[in-house]
Amino acid sequence: MATQKQSIVITGGAGGIGTACAKAFKDEHLILTDYSQKDVDRAIEDLKKEGITAIGIACDITSKEDIEKLTKFVSDNGTFKALIHTAGVSGTMKDLQKIYDIDLVAPEVLIDAFYELATQGSVAVILSSMMGHTVPPSENYDEALSNPQAQGSFETIKKFIDGSSDMLYNFAKRGTILLTQKHANKWGSKGARIVAVSPGVIETPMGLKAAEEHPERMEMIKKATPLGRNGQPEDIADVVYFLVSDKARFITGTDIIVDGGVVNNIKKM
């Protein structure tokens, strides 16, 4: 009997960390998704040039209808093994509602949708950020961050960010860490795991755009990094690969910081 293909699904598959993850999983059955079909096709074509095979479908992660199409595509094309959720935007996007929807509401909609496909051994890896760790725990907003689909969640968080899109990004990223804690029991009941990964400054299109907007701050962060450099997308992809593997079989409901050690120094700045 032929064994079913075990699919690795990567959102933000055309982005910096998404592409590096696709390369790390080059021998697996890869399903890429990103905002537009043009981006997805380009990413698949680029991988093909390196001898890597992937299939894909466009999905705007803020559209529940698109997410339904994505999960159907995944079900129609093998057995779900892992969701690697890298799609996101930074504070360089100034539309606060959009940042919240893309970086916090959409991750939970995806977590819920892929839970339906999850079975024993499935894994969800959700890309957060070291900046999520700069937002301290608080009973004033953690409930809202843990329930981003609830009415009034965004309005609650807006009170704490002083209109700053960068600050909202940080809050949303704290929210994704809380989501992995919240969903671990449910995923665990199926023998499945859910983990967040918090990158430091990574040299991808997103990282480079942020560096352009805040060059002095970025230089300061680099200087404050114990390992003395910015991260590369592969630094994250290698950790994601480990987390999806059976070697990480007892890790769930937590967050792994991959930042060259800088976040503790940032908190003191």
Q: How far apart are CA 6 and CA 80, in angstroms?
A: 6
Tokens of 34: 């990103």
Q: Closest distance between ligand NAD and the C-beta of residue 12, in Å? A: 3
Binding mask 78-97 for ligand NAD (x = CB under 6 A): --------xxxxx-------
User: Is position 165 an interface residue for ligand NAD (rule: CB under 6 A)?
Assistant: no
User: Is position 202 an interface residue for ligand NAD (rule: CB under 6 A)?
Assistant: yes
Tell which one of 7, 180, 204, 252 touches ligand NAD (CB under 6 A).
Answer: 204
**CA distances, 217 to each of 99, 173, 192, 220 (Å):** 21, 19, 39, 5
User: Is position 127 an interface residue for ligand NAD (rule: CB under 6 A)?
Assistant: yes
Note the residue count of the chain. Answer: 269
User: Is position 148 an interface residue for ligand NAD (rule: CB under 6 A)?
Assistant: no
What's 132's DSSP letter? G
Binding mask 60-79 for ligand NAD (x = CB under 6 A): xxx-----------------
Q: Starting at the edge strand that comes first in sequence, how are the strands of the sheet with 6-11 ordered?
A: 54-58, 29-34, 6-11, 79-85, 123-127, 193-199, 254-258
Tokens of 194: 């859910």
Q: Closest distance between ligand NAD and the C-beta of residue 136, in Å? A: 18
User: Is position 35 an interface residue for ligand NAD (rule: CB under 6 A)?
Assistant: yes
Q: Residue 165 corresponds to which amino acid?
A: S
Q: How far apart are CA 105 and CA 64, in angstroms?
A: 11
The alpha-carbon radius of gyration of the chain (Å, integer) is 18
Q: Report DSSP letters for 78-89, one per residue.
A: SEEEEEEE----
Pick between residue 28 and residue 39 the one whose CB is nearest to ligand NAD. 39
User: Is position 207 an interface residue for ligand NAD (rule: CB under 6 A)?
Assistant: yes
Q: Closest distance between ligand NAD and the C-beta of residue 69, in Å? A: 12
* Active-site annotation holds for 241: no
Q: Closest distance between ligand NAD and the C-beta of residue 28, in Å? A: 19
User: Is position 205 an interface residue for ligand NAD (rule: CB under 6 A)?
Assistant: yes
> Which among 35, 100, 141, 169 is annotated as catalytic?
169
Pick between residue 14 and residue 195 the one whose CB is nearest to ligand NAD. 14
Residue burial 149-164, b: 16+ Cβ < 10 Å; e: rest: eeeebbeebbeebeee
Q: Closest distance between ligand NAD and the C-beta of residue 78, in Å? A: 21
Tell which one of 167, 199, 221, 239 touches ligand NAD (CB under 6 A).
Answer: 199
Binding mask 167-196 for ligand NAD (x = CB under 6 A): ------------------------------
Q: Residue 266 corresponds to which amino acid?
A: I
Q: Report DSSP letters for 239-269, one per residue.
A: HHHHHHSGGGTT--SEEEEESTT-HHHHHH-
Annotated active-site positions, please? 169
Site residues (vs ligand NAD, CB under 6 A)? 12, 14-18, 34-35, 39, 59-62, 86-90, 102, 127, 129, 199, 201-202, 204-207
